Structure 1
């Protein structure tokens, strides 16, 4: 019985975040469709200390929840702070060398959602992934606190 349970857990882990070809197509399609500002590179040294950054860190392969968290986060930032230049949403691909400094600064090992202004930051990844639709309220609270 233990072996069957362990096999089930192993299969679940290996398939959870987009290891299948079908999920890769979904990820590529979702990434292509989104208007994410991933070309803008912000390093730790050139980040504006008065701007609140909403960083969404991710790898190349993502599951549907990962994509949903990014979508809800980006939409919430655009909707609530679209006219405020002091709030920026940035998608950060963790594998890119240009993003290494940010990845190391925030200790990102997988996907992460971080709200930061200068040295004041909070990692809301766990809450965001537990409730992707509730990201808007979490972001509003954390961004407003830093404005």
Structure 2
């Protein structure tokens, strides 16, 4: 029974990550991968600000191609930060396929949502992908409580 559950978990994880890389594609003239609000997801390497280790930051590594869930994770995160922290907690949306050195530094291989301050890193990716589309209020509460615990 445990093998069956593990196999189902692996298959579901693969389906999620494969789907997250297959929906939309960025191009130089196409802004379809992000709205005006999330322009940072299409930014070039030189536009990504340094992550200040002395402050709480929210960092979202994503792929070039993004599914609806990937976009929902970013949307809920940004809305939560605006609603509860009024710009005091920076949000970094980073294309891990373009920013390979930064992804390597943080040992990122897939879409990842983390809240960090210095060496204190909370990876909330699983909860984010489980809740962003179906229970955004649950993700909002998790983001808020995690940030507050690090302030």
Question: Where on the TM-score scale, by shorter chain, does this alignment land: which range?
Answer: 0.7 to 0.9
Which structure is richer in relative contact order (CA contacts within 8 A, separation 6 or more)?
1
State the TM-score, normalizing by the size of structure 1.
Answer: 0.72
Per-residue CA deviations over 1:90-126 (Å, capped at 9, x if unaligned) read 1011022xx3343123221110000000111111000
Do the aligned residues in 2 keep the contact of 1:54 with 1:90 (CA within 8 Å)?
yes
State the TM-score, normalizing by the size of structure 2.
Answer: 0.71
Residue 36 to residue 54, structure 1, CA distance change in 2 (3 Å): farther
Give SS of 2:115's match.
Answer: strand
1:66 and 2:67 are equivalent in the alignment: no
More helix by share: 1
Do the aligned residues in 1 keep the contact of 2:60 with 2:93 (CA within 8 Å)?
yes
Over the aligned positions, Cα root-mean-square deviation in angstroms equals 2.7
2:6 paired residue number: none
1:5 paired residue number: none
Q: Residues of 1 paired with 2:126 and 2:58: CA distance?
A: 15
Do the aligned residues in 2 keep the contact of 1:57 with 1:112 (CA within 8 Å)?
yes
2:109 paired residue number: 109
Residue 15 to residue 146, structure 1, CA distance change in 2 (3 Å): closer
Count of residue pairs the alignment pairs up: 127
- Segments of structure 2 that go 5 or more residues without pairing to the other structure are 1-10
Alpha-carbon offset, residue 24 of structure 1 = 2.1
Give SS of 1:104's match.
Answer: helix
Whose Rg is larger?
Answer: 1
